[in-house]
Amino acid sequence: MDSLDNQIAYTDYQWFFPKFNYYFYDQDAQISKKVYQVKDEELYRLYRMQYYFMQPKDKVKARNLAYKYGMEKQDVAALMVNFTNTMYYEPLYAPLFVVDDTVLIFDHYSNQILKIDEFGEKIDSIGISYHENREEKWKKLLLKDDGLDEIYSINIKEGHLSLDRINTYNGIIENNYKLKYRYVENIHIKDGYAYYIYRPYESMQKKYLYRELITEN
C-alpha cells in the first residue's frame, strides 16, 4: 500500500470478506506486525449468519470445506450461498495513506482516522463524518495529492464531481471544490491540480486529458 522509513505497509484485503488487516513489514528485521483491523460489524454479523440459515446437509459441507482449507464454517457458508453478490453486501473501503511521517488509516466503519507511527503504534484517532454527507453521494473514494500531501474525498451530484479536502488534524472538510465538467473519468490529483479524462456528454468528440486548478472557496 505504501512505505514509511524501512516499513512496508500491506494488507490482506479481499473484496468478498467484510473485515481485513493492515500490517507493517520491517525490512531490516524481516518481521511482519499487524497494526490495525478494519471491520464492518453489522455486515460481518449478517455475513456469518448465513451458516445458520442453511440446510443440515449444506452445513456439513461447509464444515468439511472449512476444515480442509483452514477457514471458519461461517465464512465458507457465506461464500457457498453467494452472499457477497447480493444487495446486502458491499466491499469494504478503508484506505491507508502516508502523510509526512505518519500512517493514516481512514476507517469509515468506526468513523475515525487512525494515526500510526513508523513503529506501528497508534498515535491518535480523530472522528470523521464526511462519508455520511446526505447532500451529495460519496463515491467511496479518497485521493491523495502526493505533491502537497493532502487527502480529498470525492463526491458526486448531478454528474459533477466535488473534491472535498479533509483536514487530517480534525477530520473536517475545509474546502469543497466542484469540477467544471460533468461525467469526468479517471481523476487524479497532483500539486493542487485535478487531472481527468473528459469528453462532452453525448458528444462524438475524442476524449482528452484535462487539468484543472483546485481553487479555495
**Cα–Cα dist 178/82, whole Å:** 38
**Cα–Cα dist 217/162, whole Å:** 12
Low-confidence ranges of the chain (pLDDT < 70): 134
What dihedral do alpha carbons 191, 194, 197, 202 form, nearest 10°? -170
DSSP string, 134-166: SSSEEEEEEEEETTTTEEEEEEEETTEEEEEEE
Provide the whole-model pTM.
Answer: 0.89
Report the pLDDT value the prediction gives residue 60, as an integer from 0 to 100.
95
Mean pLDDT of the chain: 91
Please compute Rg for the chain using Cα positions: 21
Nearest to 34 by CA among 26, 22, 42: 22
**Cα–Cα dist 199/181, whole Å:** 9
